[in-house]
């Protein structure tokens, strides 16, 4: 059985990147489509998923974060699942 390209890949440095470190590697056009007008708020999981889908469709599997990185961003509060009203 052959796994898809990039499946189970770990970050090249051997350690988990922060959301901001990963976000710095995302192409500018994709950043502006994803977060335009929402830059002052914490990123949402839906916004991360939008970028992941576009990177996947473009075949840029090595640019996607690992499962461990995604899990860390959610558990550490770097990315929110929902926007909560104050």
Question: pLDDT confidence of 5, banded at 50, 70, 90?
Answer: low
Q: Using the predicted structure, report yes or no on whether residue 65 has a pLDDT greater than 60.
A: yes
Taking Cα atoms as reference points, which of 23, 22, 19, 45 lies closest to residue 32?
Answer: 23
Domain boundaries, the chain: 19-75
pLDDT in tens, 10-63: 445 567 999 999 999 999 999 999 999 999 999 999 999 999 999 999 999 999
Higher local confidence (pLDDT), 57 or 7: 57
Could you tell me the pTM of the whole model? 0.76
Higher local confidence (pLDDT), 82 or 51: 51
């Amino acid at each position: 059985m052959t796994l898809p390209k990039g499946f189970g890949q770990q970050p090249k440095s051997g350690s988990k990147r922060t959301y901001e470190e990963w976000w710095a590697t995302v192409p500018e056009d994709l950043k502006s489509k994803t977060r335009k007008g929402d830059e002052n708020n914490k990123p949402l999981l839906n916004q991360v998923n939008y970028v992941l889908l576009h990177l996947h469709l473009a075949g840029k599997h090595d640019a996607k974060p690992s499962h461990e990185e995604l899990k860390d961003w959610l558990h550490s509060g770097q990315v929110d699942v929902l926007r909560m009203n104050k």
